[in-house]
Amino acid sequence: MPVGTQGTIKGVLPDHVAATGSQIILGNTYHLLLRPGEQIVKELGDLHAFMSWPGPILTDSGGFQVFSLADIRTISDVGVSFKSHIDGAIIELTPQRSIQVQNDLGADIIMAFDECPPGTAERAYQIQAVERTLRWAELCKTAHQRPNDQALFAIVQGGTDLELRGKCAAGLIAMDFPGYAVGGLAVGEGFEAMKLVLTGVTPMLPEQKPRYLMGVGFPRDIVAGVASGIDMFDCVMPTRNGRNAYAFTAAGPIRLRNSRFARDRGPVEEGCDCYACRNFSRGAIRHFFFAGEMLGPVLLSVHNIRFYQRLMADIRKAIGEGRFAQFRAQDPRCQLGPAGDGENPEQLKEMD
């Protein structure tokens, strides 16, 4: 699912997003609450009309952004008080308020408000976050006013502690949500630790309901998630990296700012059917970046989204044909992780 945090997938027209094969996109409660406000979005016809996206939309509850972006004043069992990063205003976000905002935004899938501690948090904090996440999930379910047209998913927390993850999953399953997400990963715990959590936790979640891994990630992360039983993924990585001249290809990531691409007449990736690869050369796209032209980031965003959607389509096909294990072992895309040759653009603090 491509991420459109503030009501738009940056620089990419909805028609171009749809052409990549994307079926569902994201918005975010935290950012839309701060600007323009959920009431304005509601008055303008809900988030579908606001984003000009006729397909399904998922909104994150704002919990991750509160704990990663905001200047938090207080955290209690009631909710979180924080300072807006836009104008410094003090905002109160509770489970009930998060659900009310999401009800007004009108997305098809909404998320329960949870506490998302850092990956390095002490176990005592992780225990507290799990207990609070369970209490808040119950409050969210009670506050939900549109259960017939908005599916409310709960979020499993617990860091890398499988005992805590299991406790959180069991408590949420007992509340009988329409879907379940695994949150609090890709926050510094490392690939191997993430795999351990996924293989330990995902099978606990009901197989007949959607299972969603939030905010992950590199192709190898997604493939590992699929192998454990995850159904849904989102990440800012395709678009954020695209805006920084970083393109995903089956042969590995390329940085189009490198001088070796200046006279390169080939497409970003041979065999890719995206709009960028069908119409522009690497050399041209590199020039757009150096000239400060908006088209460069737009084209690489389109290419990267399509790269991920082609990977997901091929995964679904392999599963349907009973050859996923072979696909995972043989397709080079399934091994793609961090490039390891300097700063990765996905680490930048820019918002999607």
Percent of the chain with pLDDT over 70: 97
Record the tokens describing residue 303, joined without a space: 């290419």
pLDDT tens profile 196-253: 999 999 999 999 999 999 999 899 999 999 999 999 999 999 999 999 999 999 999 9
Please give the average per-residue pLDDT across 61-76, as a whole number: 83
User: What pLDDT does residue 121 have?
Assistant: 87
Residue 40 pLDDT exceeds 80: yes
**Confidence band, pLDDT 50/70/90 cuts, at residue 10:** very high
Question: What is the set of domains in the chain, with CATH numbers?
Answer: 14-235 (3.20.20.105), 236-326 (no CATH)
Contact 173, 138 (CB under 8 A): no
Residue 67 pLDDT exceeds 70: yes
Phi-psi group of 176: left, alpha or beta (phi > 0 → left; psi -120 to 50 → alpha; rest → beta)? left
Give the integer Cα–Cα distance in Å for 277 and 221.
Answer: 25
Asked whether the CA dihedral 321, 325, 331, 333 is positive or negative, the reply is positive
Residue 342 pLDDT exceeds 80: no
Residues carrying an active site annotation: 60, 234
Name beta bridge partners: 81. 74, 92
Length of the chain: 352
pTM of the model: 0.95
User: What pLDDT does residue 352 have?
Assistant: 72
Give the integer Cα–Cα distance in Å for 163 and 342.
Answer: 36
Contact 74, 81 (CB under 8 A): yes
**Confidence band, pLDDT 50/70/90 cuts, at residue 41:** very high
CB-neighbour burial class of residue 129 (10 A; exposed 0-12, middle 13-18, buried 19+): buried
**Cα distances (Å, whole numbers) of residue 48 to 108, 236, 302, 344:** 9, 20, 21, 32
**Confidence band, pLDDT 50/70/90 cuts, at residue 351:** low
- Answer whether the bond into residue 217 is a cis peptide, omega within 30°: yes
* Nearest residue to 232 via CA among 64, 2, 62: 2
Please, what is the average pLDDT of the chain? 94
pLDDT tens profile 279-337: 999 999 999 999 999 999 999 999 999 999 999 999 999 999 999 999 999 999 999 99
Contact 81, 73 (CB under 8 A): yes
CB-neighbour burial class of residue 63 (10 A; exposed 0-12, middle 13-18, buried 19+): buried
User: What pLDDT does residue 269 have?
Assistant: 98
Please give the average per-residue pLDDT across 147-173, as a whole number: 97
User: What pLDDT does residue 313 have?
Assistant: 98
Give the integer Cα–Cα distance in Å for 74 and 79.
Answer: 8
pLDDT tens profile 141-152: 999 999 999 999
Helices and strands counted in the chain (H then E): 15, 12
Ordered DSSP codes for 172-191: HHHH--SEEEE-S-SSSS-H
Phi-psi group of 275: left, alpha or beta (phi > 0 → left; psi -120 to 50 → alpha; rest → beta)? alpha
Sheet of strand 179-182, all strands in order from the earlier edge strand to the far edge: 25-28, 57-60, 109-111, 151-156, 179-182, 211-213, 232-233
pLDDT tens profile 118-128: 878 899 999 99
Record the tokens describing residue 150, joined without a space: 């908005």
Residue 339 pLDDT exceeds 80: no
Contact 154, 175 (CB under 8 A): yes
Residues near 351 by beta carbon (within 8 Å), at least 6 away in sequence: 5, 6, 31, 69
**Confidence band, pLDDT 50/70/90 cuts, at residue 84:** confident
